[in-house]
Chain A
Amino acid sequence: MFEKKSVVPSKALLISFLALFLLLVPALSSAKASSGGDDKEGATDFILHHVVDDYTWHFFDGDYGTIYLPVILYSEDRGIEVFSSHHFYNEAHEKIAYNGYEISEDGHIAALDEGRHAMDFSITKNTAMLILIMIVLSVIVLSAARHYKKNPRTAPKGVASFLEPIIIYIRDEIAKPNIGKKYEKFMPYLLTLFFFIWFGNLLGLLPGASNLTGNIAVTFVLAMFTFVFTNINGNKDYWKHVFATPGVPKPLLLIMVPVEFVGLFTKPFSLMVRLFVAITAGHIVILSLIALVFIFQSHAVGVASTIMVIFINMIELLVATIQAYVFTLFSAMYIGAAVAEHEHH
């Protein structure tokens, strides 16, 4: 019985490995061409290009594999400038200067003149990804909401039945225990936060997708939202706890108040860094394993690293969910600490 059963999945597994391996072959040859002489240096560039923001959206090499996204710049002397990022590349896909600007070493657009400075509001790869995630998330969530508007008292169906347990989990396990009585006010924020991070993480794992939730600008903004939500809702007890910690002797307050004050900022900072690191590190691990194939150029390493990539991808699916949960949970805890009413003292 057992032996018979185990044959089928192992066969399927073997076929899928083979298929993945075959898919990797053209990528391998293209990477060899683009990486130039030094394979290790090329691998680092290959990995970093996949995790950082860009002015183009590169799917595969060739004439149609790259989408050139619009560059939007604002400078005091020239006003708003809009042009395609195609101008920054020549026919050999090498970076060139255009219109007094260039893409500098750190990947941002900089003015060629020393004295000039331009604000960069370009629709970058991550901005495009952001719009994509917003659309996907809105379509899914709004279609689920339609069920509740039509027949609010019936059991959920379709998308609603997929979202409902998550919504109930966030309400009953994250918001209620950590925030307390006033949880209802923060539910829309926590739900939007969770689903945005979760969808961002999951969509970011797709091949060719952009690493949006692993970008420090994005995690910075999300952490700032939690920071703002926490502090504008902070009650008397919360501020008293920061600036006149109860039960602490006066001389110790000289140490405690700065610590508590810094704590206000370390909380969102930890949120920002945690999400950024977890997602970016995951991408780097997967890309490193893929890069191994290009460096060693051996079939055995190809098979082994493909198996590892699949394994890490599974873990990344888990990490995507855990990080969304953790960000939401900590946000709820910080908000809860700000609105909590202490009956003691």
Chain B
Amino acid sequence: MIAANLLSPGVGLIVYQAIGFLILLFVLGKFAWKPILGALKEREDSIESALLSAEQAKNEMQALQADNEKLLAEARVERDSILKEAIATATSIKESAKEETSKITARMIEDAKAAIEIEKKAALTDVKNKVAVLSLEITEKLLRKQLEDQKAQKELIDGFVKDLNLN
């Protein structure tokens, strides 16, 4: 019966099938599956690494941004402090200048006062001296006139002596 052929494998077909499959396994394995699987793996790896690096770049970007903000804030703080300092310095300079000026003015006024006082004293002394000289001269003249007689002279001397004793 031909039906028996269904279950009786042909020796030739077994041999050819084995050889044919081995050839396919070798040819496809070497020239198709290896490059295809390699390329697939390479592509998957590259996609994965690209995703990873993108994530990394994002993180770096964020860090950079944070850094920038920090720097900006620091700069702002520094600027503020510098400004404050400058204002303080300016104020202190102004203040001290004012003080100096008033001191100088005061000293000048004092000096002027002192000079005026000295001048005044000098003038007064001068006047006194002049007055004294004049009084002496007047006195002399008066005395000369009065002491033209002896009696008057004697009276005067006595008066002086009296005064001396009293002292």
Contacts and interface: CB of A to CB of B under 8 A. Distances in A.
Are these two chains actual partners, yes or no? yes
Interface of A: 44-45, 48-49, 51-53, 72, 105-108, 119-124, 126-127, 130-131, 134, 137-138, 141-142, 144-145, 148-149, 152-153, 160, 163-164, 167-168, 171, 184, 187-189, 191-192, 195-196, 215-218, 220-222, 224-225, 280
Contact of A127 (B13, B25, B33, B46): B13
B79 to A, nearest CB: 51
B28 interface: yes
Given A105-B4, A167-B36, A196-B21, A153 B14 contact: no
B25 A189 contact: yes
A107 B28 CA distance: 34
Given A144-B32, A187-B37, A105 B2 contact: yes
29 contacts: A51-B6, A52-B6, A53-B13, A121-B12, A123-B16, A124-B10, A124-B13, A126-B10, A130-B13, A130-B20, A131-B20, A137-B28, A141-B32, A142-B31, A144-B32, A145-B35, A148-B35, A148-B36, A148-B39, A167-B33, A167-B40, A184-B37, A187-B37, A188-B28, A189-B29, A195-B28, A196-B21, A217-B10, A221-B21
Contacts of A121: 11-12, 15-16
Given A120-B12, A121-B15, A48 B6 contact: yes
Contacts of A195: 28
A116 to B, nearest CB: 16
Given A48-B2, A138-B27, A148-B39, A72 B12 contact: yes
Identify the interface centre among B3, B16, B20, B25: most chain A CB within 10 Å of its CB: B16
Interface of B: 1-18, 20-21, 23-25, 27-29, 31-40, 42-43, 46
Contacts, number: 147
A212 to B, nearest CB: 8
B39 A108 contact: no
Given A122-B12, A131-B20, A187-B33, A216 B25 contact: no
Contacts of A52: 2, 5-6
B137 to A, nearest CB: 134
**Is the contact region of chain A dominated by helix, strand, or loop, or is it mixed?**
helix
A130 B35 contact: no
Contact of A107 (B2, B11, B18, B36): B2
Contacts of B2: 45, 48-49, 52, 105-107
A149 B11 CA distance: 39
Contacts of A108: 5, 8, 10
